[in-house]
A and B are shown apart, each in its own frame.
Chain A
């Protein structure tokens, strides 16, 4: 169990693509760190640099107290779970798990003990003699995990390990990975593009965009105080409503908006953010410090436990989404008024998208 530290790490690929542009991340020992971001933002590249599968163009990567930039993958004491599992197709499940230990010259009885122990934890003991092609996706996933845990490495690395599974299995494995990581307390770095997976797994959540870190922190802190419009729209589903606003008298000003007293917008205007789940239907007057939005309903999606209401706001033509609990009886075409209380409002810079308040 060791900490993982990335210090101004950069990656420029041979073709000149700068995939990672100076990333600082500190994963405390035993923590579960999730790198999340849209496809192509450099998450895999970053993970592969920690693994030693890509060279590090600039900066330093440390595992424990060791600088590992120049070390081979095998010398870094890490284990990796790949998206397509990368099991050796010609080896039995047992041999797949034992291979790394054999290469390290672990004594045979110990290999046997460790493989059987891992198989027991992952409930794959009945499949030990099978070849990977005779396993289901979920079982292969477990074998890939088993191959990682038998080694007892300092760090686990996961590159979108659940994305080849169906939705139900994904949730099940997500819970199991979390439990396993807690039980083994091995420092883990996990890459995903799925914000829900990221939110549920992470102790430390790192949101990446275009090769840079947008925000690092505990998942709920990031949810409650996104550092930029990018994070605000990436974390949470459906995404946060972002409305361009002008400066009023100590309040935001835009067509269809009321209230919001005390939320100071700079002279050049700003972007106001409010999450769909923080909007409530109101009938009477909206308190002055709450934000009221009135819009004509254009579509209603009822999914049982909650209802999503869509409608265009002001002159922007942009749709606003409200996530209302239960069955909201709203007909398309009728206007609706919703409101969010002051503590649920976010303000971002119009140019840079960075958070400016409250």
Chain B
């Protein structure tokens, strides 16, 4: 019995450890690469142990920009990304929870029409409506601004539908009890609906934050100054052969690994379609 038990608990651990190793190894290598000087990396023999240039590489990439390519420092770009992702995530949730509230709890003329209009926008992501959206933003003079960067991405049919679905599972009796308890519509929203939606909001926040963080095409279009657009900045950096490998490793680790493969290639496809 003892034998079997230890075997049974041992084997899964071995499998898990192998899995962790497979997933973590490339990340580790990327980190190690970021601690060596460009010369060591470019001679093709990747060391497996961290080198002596950790602090130096990171300070340069984050705060000074790489000298050879005269790029903006990555720190600024990441801050921009953070602001953009936060604004988009919070904005999306705020707008969609309010519109779902209106659609589910109020009887107004053309309610279903309004719902379907929101629904249809699911088929119109930024990429499809990019020219008119760009034109509007440009006409409003919002190029190179956080407003222009975020507002066109805030409207969200997905989140509206999700909240609508959730609201429809909230028992009618809760609304009725609130009415009898003398709560107004907005009090019901604030005191009952919002606290009940917390888990949905948290889940949506994560998804929408990542959506905002990974925006690539839109910031590329809407920003003209280097200091504004971060995601493309980072992607360019990876596409740029002149940028040192060390900087590439440091510039967005571990997020950069994904960016290097994804949007980097994506960009060409989208531009030539």
Contacts and interface: CB of A to CB of B under 8 A. Distances in A.
B171 A74 contact: no
A53 B179 CA distance: 8
A88 B180 contact: no
B187 to A, nearest CB: 7
Interface stretch (A98-106, A259-267, A307-315): A98-106
Contact of A100 (B171, B174, B176, B182): B182
A84 B173 contact: yes
Chain A CB count within 10 A is highest, among B174, B177, B191, for: B177
B178 to A, nearest CB: 8
> Interface on chain A toward B: helix, strand, loop, or mixed SS?
loop
Contacts of A79: 180
B171 A80 contact: no
Max chain B C-beta neighbours (<10 A), residue from A78, A86, A90, A147: A86
B183 A89 contact: no
B48 interface: no
A74 B177 contact: no
Given A82-B173, A88-B192, A73 B180 contact: yes
A41 interface: no
Contacts of A90: 192, 195-196
25 contacts: A51-B180, A53-B176, A53-B179, A73-B176, A73-B180, A74-B180, A74-B183, A78-B180, A80-B180, A82-B173, A82-B177, A84-B173, A86-B171, A86-B173, A86-B177, A88-B174, A88-B192, A90-B192, A90-B195, A90-B196, A99-B183, A100-B181, A103-B182, A103-B187, A147-B181
Nearest to A104: B182
A129 interface: no
Contacts of B181: 74, 99-100, 103, 147
A139 B195 CA distance: 23
Contacts, number: 53
Nearest to A88: B192
Contacts of B191: 88, 99
Nearest to A99: B181
Interface in A96-128: 99-100, 103-104
A312 to B, nearest CB: 46
A161 to B, nearest CB: 12
Contacts of A89: 196
Nearest to A82: B173
B180 to A, nearest CB: 5
Interface string B184-195: 000100011001
A72 interface: yes
Contacts of A53: 176, 179-180
Given A84-B173, A90-B195, 7 more contacts: A53-B176, A74-B179, A74-B181, A88-B174, A100-B180, A100-B182, A104-B182
